């Protein structure tokens, strides 16, 4: 071997060493487009009249590793769609990088980058998907841009991997981008997404992994087609039985993903009120009813809903003419045929042959009157003790109604005012209290929807059920206790409030119940009507940054001293997925997580610092 050859060999070893140690350094700061040339072929392959470059051939291999072989020539070899070249992908790309090419250089003929070539090279029957995945990982680690598009096809690396059904590569690419580009479109495929592309090419495994990572099966391309409509017609597949089976599997998978997720209805925490109302009307679930005095049907549901406050009746109509099948907003309250389900306020239903009783005071009431008599209600069907179906002891409305007109009260634990009205109202069924608030933090002036119930200044009036108000003095608030705004109509808040007390409470019960202090002397907040200390716990519903969420973590954090609270918001208004600075504290959807100080959250109007600091600091001291 000559001295020159030895030097070239040593130089090649040095370059390989740099590549293997992730020490790749291109000569240029910017990528370039390499000119289009023909692929080289060794003499023995030419004699055999072979038209492609075979890295397994000793002569071709010698040409490939020869430093005189240029980057455009190796790109020309990469273009060859043969198992001999695609299964030697790693060797070819390493030879290009050894020649100090930029990681994002492009082929002059196809305008494809090394990453795009690698993404499609794992196609079944042509290349090796695991090798392709390994090369893609290596290229990304060296700075390959996953978002580059081919100028001729407008496809990204993800689009190529989806088209050729290279699942391991799809997983690597989605992990790199956190699946943020999963629904990016491609003009070559009528601006369809990766899911459209995979479906059009019968890439079944690619479709499954894309759906698992959040691809939108309802997304439409410029032709108005969803991925399901992009599946080829099996009659055009040359009667191939295997292809026909694949089409059936693919259609089934996409059809299932397009079906809306049916959620269970919210827990009926107003069960007692529902039963009282129905008994007052002489109706039970399963009875025939008249809706609005016009339509007839069967009562299937009575209780709260997610789409509006108050009690609602769900009716299966005898004839089509409804608006749903018992589901609203993806939540199924009961089941019936399409267009035979309807929801109406309980005040709008009645037994056949009767007319619903008026539910509101007259709108022509004299402005000098501060109290309006409730409309007459037929109580002939109400028993002395209402059968609620609950095992725990309950008090009747008369027992609980210890609040009279003129009493000073606190609404939802935070707003002080004076009771000005008590009775039924048009806007919702049940007994409502009208309160004139001390400060302008209300919603009206004593009137709702042109019906006047009492008089007060604008924004000083508010209406609330008995469960939302307390007599002033029944609970003492400290002067520094935070009373941040909170939505007391949230179902989750009802759940938390009721889970802390198994039976309703009255002022007499509270007076007789001794308050036990924790042995450690901690000063913890307490829930009204409960003697148990009230502290922040994982799973609780809280308000954070004016958004409703759930506590997922409480404890220390590496990025700051003291106690931190991890909150999963119900909307994408957070900053992370429960992971901060590569440290995972909990798991949730991207942009749904927040880690905040306890003082930044409120629970039922109580600042989180009151529920965390004393308790957890004491626990740290004991440890």
Each residue of 283-334: pLDDT tens digit?
888 999 998 888 899 999 988 887 777 788 899 999 888 888 888 877 888 8
Is residue 532 a part of any domain in this protein? no
Helix (H, G, I), strand (E, B) or coil at 342: strand
Is residue 328 a part of any domain in this protein? yes
More confident residue, 396 or 212: 212
User: Within 13 A of 522's CA, how many CA atoms are on the CB side?
Assistant: 21
- 574-585 per-position pLDDT tens digit: 899 999 888 888
- Cα separation of 78 and 81, whole Å? 8
Judgement on whether residues 64 and 147 belong to the same structural domain of the protein:
yes
Query: From edge to edge, which strands make up the β-sheet containing 606-607?
Result: 593-596, 560-569, 547-557, 541-544, 601-603, 606-607
Q: What is the pLDDT of residue 1?
A: 46
Q: What is the pLDDT of residue 498?
A: 36
- Looking at 340-349, 485-494, 552-561, 564-573, which range is the least confident one? 485-494
Mean of all residue pLDDT scores within the chain:
76
Residue 21 has pLDDT above 80, yes or no: no
Asked if residues 522 and 618 have their Cβ atoms less than 8 Å apart, the reply is yes
- Cα separation of 427 and 446, whole Å? 13
Q: How far lies 435's CA from each of 148, 273, 292, 311, 413, in Å? A: 62, 21, 31, 21, 13
Is residue 529 a part of any domain in this protein? no
Q: How far lies 157's CA from each of 118, 170, 306, 537, in Å? A: 8, 9, 42, 45
Contact residues for 34 (Cβ-Cβ < 8 A; gap 6+): 71, 72, 75, 101, 105, 106, 107, 108
Residue 387 has pLDDT above 80, yes or no: no
Helix (H, G, I), strand (E, B) or coil at 230: helix
- Of 580, 596, 579, 598, which Cα lies nearest the Cα of 588? 579
Q: What is the pLDDT of residue 402?
A: 61
How many other C-beta atoms can be found within 10 angstroms of the C-beta atom of residue 224?
A: 8
Q: What is the pLDDT of residue 171?
A: 95
Mean per-residue pLDDT for 191-212?
A: 94
Q: How far lies 571's CA from each of 104, 149, 329, 382, 604, in Å? A: 37, 32, 16, 43, 20
- Looking at 16-25, 135-144, 183-192, 252-261, which range is the least confident one? 16-25
Judgement on whether residues 169 and 252 belong to the same structural domain of the protein:
yes
pLDDT tier for residue 549 given thresholds of 50, 70 and 90: confident
Judgement on whether residues 78 and 189 belong to the same structural domain of the protein:
yes
Is residue 6 a part of any domain in this protein? no
- Looking at 80-84, 221-225, 271-275, 502-506, which range is the least confident one? 502-506
Q: Which of 350, 366, 397 is where one domain is finished?
A: 350
Judgement on whether residues 65 and 172 belong to the same structural domain of the protein:
yes
How do 560-569 and 547-557 pair as beta strands? antiparallel
Is residue 434 a part of any domain in this protein? yes
Task: Report the share of the chain in percent with pLDDT over 70.
Answer: 73
Judgement on whether residues 238 and 279 belong to the same structural domain of the protein:
no
Judgement on whether residues 143 and 89 belong to the same structural domain of the protein:
yes
Q: Which of 422, 439, 471 is where one domain is finished?
A: 471
DSSP E strands: which ranges in 361-411? 408-411
pLDDT tier for residue 211 given thresholds of 50, 70 and 90: very high
- Cα separation of 88 and 486, whole Å? 63
Judgement on whether residues 226 and 307 belong to the same structural domain of the protein:
no
pLDDT tier for residue 261 given thresholds of 50, 70 and 90: low
- Looking at 193-197, 201-205, 291-295, 334-338, which range is the least confident one? 291-295
Judgement on whether residues 103 and 188 belong to the same structural domain of the protein:
yes
What is the DSSP secondary structure assignment for residue 402, as one 8-state letter? -
Residue 405 has pLDDT above 80, yes or no: yes
Residue 531 has pLDDT above 70, yes or no: no
The structure tokens listed for 616 are 């957890």
Is residue 383 a part of any domain in this protein? no
Judgement on whether residues 318 and 460 belong to the same structural domain of the protein:
no
Judgement on whether residues 56 and 173 belong to the same structural domain of the protein:
yes
- The whole domain housing 449 covers 407-471
Mean per-residue pLDDT for 332-351?
A: 88
Asked if residues 204 and 249 have their Cβ atoms less than 8 Å apart, the reply is yes
Is residue 14 a part of any domain in this protein? no
pLDDT tier for residue 239 given thresholds of 50, 70 and 90: low
Longest dimension (CA), the chain: 115
Question: What is the radius of gyration, based on Cα positions, of the chain?
Answer: 35
Q: How far apart are the first and last CA of the chain?
A: 72
Asked if residues 603 and 612 have their Cβ atoms less than 8 Å apart, the reply is no
- Of 257, 495, 280, which Cα lies nearest the Cα of 383? 280
pLDDT tier for residue 400 given thresholds of 50, 70 and 90: very low
DSSP E strands: which ranges in 82-140? 106-107
Judgement on whether residues 435 and 557 belong to the same structural domain of the protein:
no
Supply the CATH number for residue 467's domain.
Answer: 2.30.30.190
Domain count, the chain: 4
* Residue 129 C-alpha from the chain's centroid: 32
Q: Which of 350, 378, 397 is where one domain is finished?
A: 350
- Of 557, 554, 562, which Cα lies nearest the Cα of 582? 557
pLDDT tier for residue 53 given thresholds of 50, 70 and 90: confident
Judgement on whether residues 254 and 306 belong to the same structural domain of the protein:
no
- Looking at 337-346, 399-408, 448-457, 559-568, which range is the least confident one? 399-408
- Cα separation of 588 and 576, whole Å? 8
Supply the CATH number for residue 164's domain.
Answer: 1.25.40.20
Which residue is associated with the tokens 């991890």?
A: 566
Asked if residues 121 and 86 have their Cβ atoms less than 8 Å apart, the reply is yes
Asked if residues 572 and 592 have their Cβ atoms less than 8 Å apart, the reply is yes
Asked if residues 314 and 323 have their Cβ atoms less than 8 Å apart, the reply is no
- Of 334, 325, 320, 331, which Cα lies nearest the Cα of 285? 334
Is residue 516 a part of any domain in this protein? no
User: Within 13 A of 606's CA, how many CA atoms are on the CB side?
Assistant: 21
- Of 270, 337, 357, 266, which Cα lies nearest the Cα of 297? 337
């Amino acid at each position: 071997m000559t001295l020159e050859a030895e030097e070239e060999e040593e130089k090649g070893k040095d370059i390989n060493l740099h590549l293997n140690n992730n020490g790749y350094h291109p000569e240029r700061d910017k990528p370039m487009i390499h000119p289009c040339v023909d692929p080289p072929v060794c003499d023995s392959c030419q004699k055999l009249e072979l038209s492609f470059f075979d890295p397994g051939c000793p002569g071709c291999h010698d040409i490939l590793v020869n430093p005189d072989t240029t980057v455009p020539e190796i790109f020309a070899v990469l273009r060859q769609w043969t198992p001999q070249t695609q299964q030697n992908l790693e060797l070819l790309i390493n030879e290009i990088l050894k020649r100090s090419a930029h990681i994002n250089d492009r082929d002059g003929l196809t305008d494809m980058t090394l990453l795009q070539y690698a993404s499609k090279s794992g196609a079944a029957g042509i290349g090796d998907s695991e090798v392709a995945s390994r090369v893609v990982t290596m290229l990304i680690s060296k700075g390959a841009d996953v978002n580059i598009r081919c100028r001729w096809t407008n496809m990204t690396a993800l689009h190529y991997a989806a088209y050729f059904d290279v699942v391991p590569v799809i997983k690597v690419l989605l992990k790199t981008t956190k699946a943020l580009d999963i629904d990016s479109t491609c003009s070559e495929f009528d601006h369809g997404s990766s899911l459209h592309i995979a479906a059009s090419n019968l890439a079944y495994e690619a479709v499954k992994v894309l759906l698992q990572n959040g691809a939108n099966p309802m997304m439409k391309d410029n032709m108005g087609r969803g991925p399901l409509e992009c599946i080829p017609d099996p009659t055009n597949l040359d009667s191939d039985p295997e292809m026909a089976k694949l089409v059936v599997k693919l259609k089934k998978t996409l059809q299932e993903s397009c079906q809306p997720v049916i959620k269970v209805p919210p827990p009926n925490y107003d069960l007692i009120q529902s039963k009282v109302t129905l008994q007052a009307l002489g109706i039970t679930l399963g009875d025939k009813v008249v809706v609005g005095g016009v339509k007839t049907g069967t009562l299937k549901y009575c209780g709260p809903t997610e789409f509006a406050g108050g009690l609602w009746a769900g009716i299966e109509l005898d004839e089509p003419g409804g608006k749903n099948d018992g589901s609203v907003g993806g939540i199924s309250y009961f089941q019936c045929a399409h267009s035979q389900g309807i929801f109406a306020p309980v005040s709008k239903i009645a037994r056949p042959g009767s007319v619903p009783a008026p539910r509101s005071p007259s709108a022509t009431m004299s402005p000098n009157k501060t109290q309006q008599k409730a409309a007459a209600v037929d109580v002939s069907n109400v028993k002395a003790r209402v059968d609620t179906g609950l095992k725990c002891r309950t008090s009747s409305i008369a027992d609980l109604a210890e609040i009279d007109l003129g009493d000073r009260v606190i609404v939802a634990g935070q707003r002080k005012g004076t009771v000005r009205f008590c009775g039924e109202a048009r806007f919702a069924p049940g007994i409502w209290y009208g309160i004139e608030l001390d400060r302008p933090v209300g919603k009206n002036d004593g009137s709702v929807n042109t019906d006047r119930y009492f008089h007060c200044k604008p924004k000083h009036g508010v209406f609330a059920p008995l469960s939302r108000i307390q007599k002033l003095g029944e609970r003492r608030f400290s002067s520094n206790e935070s009373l941040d705004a909170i939505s007391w109509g949230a179902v989750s808040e009802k759940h938390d409030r009721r889970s802390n007390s198994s039976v309703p409470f009255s002022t007499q019960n509270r007076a007789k119940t001794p308050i036990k202090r924790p042995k450690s002397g901690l000063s913890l907040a307490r829930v009204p009507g409960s003697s148990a200390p009230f502290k922040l716990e994982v799973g609780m519903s809280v308000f954070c940054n004016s958004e409703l969420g759930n506590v997922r973590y409480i404890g220390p954090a590496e990025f700051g001293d003291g106690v931190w609270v991890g909150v999963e918001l119900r909307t994408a208004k957070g900053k992370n997925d429960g992971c901060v600075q590569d440290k995972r504290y909990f798991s949730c959807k991207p942009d749904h997580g927040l880690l905040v100080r306890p003082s930044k959250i409120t629970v039922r109007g109580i600042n989180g610092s009151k529920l965390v600091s004393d308790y957890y600091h004491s626990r740290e001291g004991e440890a």
